Structure 1
Amino acid sequence: MALFQETKKSSLTNLMVKSVWPRDRLEFMNVDVEGLAGGLLRIWDPVIFERTECCCSRNFLLLLGKLFNSFDCVLVNIHAPNDIIRKRKFWESLLNLKTYFPKPWCTGGDFNEIRNIGESVGVSLRDRGMKDFNNFINRCEVVDLLLLGRKYTWCNAFDGHKWSRIDRFLLSPEWLEKFKFNQWGLARASSDHCPIVLMEDTRDWGPKPFKFLNAWMLHLNFASFVEHTWSHSQFSGPAGFTLQKKLFALKLALKKWSKEVYGDVSSKLQVIENDLHQLNLKAEIRPLVEEDLKQQREKKNERQNRNSLNSITVGDTIFEEPAQVKKEVWSFFSNHFSEAWKHRTVLVGDFKSVRFSDHFHLLEAEFSKEEVWAAIADCNGNKAPWEQSSWAGWL
């Protein structure tokens, strides 16, 4: 389940929501933006959470339902007002809602308020706001979990001298009896807020699956390298065992080849992200000195440069002008996702059942080895609907 605040979208399509959700199954609800600010979004897996009722306003999105088919609960996505008077009325409205939705609450999001002076640095404090927020937490009978991983959740993106913990999860005690939750603050990326993760599962699922990169196939030596590695990997045993061993050997060889040819791009990017995260943690303790600020700018520029598209190569021609790059990118994807025919064939008339055909037995016949290889040879890896489709491209 995921909670988003400040979507700044007047409407959200399924395609937009799927772009930030890693699972195939999803349901979502959103609150549209008003003006140029606001907007809430909650996404969940319908197998894990079954919604029965909902309620929303500009500042909250409440769902009542059943978690794991056994735990009745209330989930609230929060983006509290910044004005202290409106915020006080907002707390009261949530307390009134709790009488109508008495099941255990899990409330998370941007509360736009801290609980004590230790939760902020360089930010003007309002005792009245802190008192109202603590009063709301006590009357709502929810628990404020300890934040692990970092001290603050928001940073002024302009100078990095203002920090505060205004994002959090608040849980009814029943949640903590059912689950052993920890609350983690992750590294900030493009937002001035850091993501918050409420996590129970600490099991190690092992290494990530091998990822085949389509860009490898554009290298002139790739095909010959694969052919050489495959032919020189010799194993004895059953066909299935041999195939598994040869694929494993090829995977290791491709990883090594990619690092030698392209460099360890993922590791380099991870190092930059970690360095920025350490600078953010340092800034939470004390103001950054000029040397730290210089390093922060360099790391941000390096990350931006790695993510930027400066030129594109089409055949033997390199395009660097933005207008030309945009034109070639548009042309590629326009052709990539276009269909070969202008008009689809439409069948009309009455059709007899294929079961009465003399050739019906051919439909249920097993595929021959020649047919399988013909199908693989006809595959276009870039358009195949499964993750590691590019394997079919060079097989």
Structure 2
Amino acid sequence: MVWEYLSYVINQWNGNVVVMGDFNEVRYKSDRFGSVFNVQGAEEFNAFIADVGLEEVPLGGSSFTWCHKSATKMSKLDRFFVSNSLLNSCPHFSAITLERFLSDHRPILLREINFDYGPTPFRFFHHWIELDGFSNFVSDVWKSAPGGDSVRFKEELRVLDEKIDKKDGSNELVQRRTDLIKNINHLDQIRSMDLAQKSKMAIRGVMVDGEWIDDPMNVKREFFNHFRDRFSKPVDHRISIEMQYPKQLSYEQQADLERMVTKEELKAAVWDYGTDK
């Protein structure tokens, strides 16, 4: 079978690998429009990708890379794959589809761009410290995290190296040192896989009116405009009811409700929150 042959060829290449082209197969049902989705074919394709240790480069732009001349059938047949080792060393790979010209397939441009959206907001409420078990919770999470174990292992490895250098190391210490090195390498692999996964899930751009936008400032603006429009007050006029009420606000009270808030009132409200907000 073609997948077995490709697996054999790729396994002959040691190190960084890039595989691209028209695979004439899709991975998911959403990759086809207007044509039948072959479940068995997709399963074999995904099994091949997993067996050879490849990761798909996230694709921006059009969702489909092939289109029938009648525009009634479209599929995502063209892809870029890279080896895990290459993705760990170059986590900022991305691909974007270009406009079709003569072929019924869209060209794909592979590039490495680091999209900097600025620092991630971090918020901490001081009242958390007063909760029962908070300190133990933080300590347990730190110890269970790969980064925390890595720091602890590396410190222990430093102490062992000092003892071995002074010729005070027994066979047990040497064996412990070997075990620590294995653990540190394993944790580093997990951390690299985590970074690669975060890179795959990162937002690289957004399609707006048929145009692919990837500049961080423009992407932020499009997201802001989208959610502002979704949650803004409707512009349509509402129905008013013409009837008399026995109790009504005075004109002074109505004006007081609708007046602008002063800077002094804002300052007083913010200052009343306390120093930990």
Considering the TM-score relative to the shorter chain, is it more than 0.5?
no
TM bucket (normalised to shorter chain) is 0.3 to 0.5
Normalising by structure 2, what TM-score? 0.40
* Higher relative contact order structure (alpha carbons within 8 Å, sequence separation ≥ 6): 2
Please identify the structure whose Cα radius of gyration is greater.
2
Normalising by structure 1, what TM-score? 0.28
Question: Relative to total residues, which structure has the larger helix share, 1 or 2?
Answer: 2
Question: Relative to total residues, which structure has the larger strand share, 1 or 2?
Answer: 1
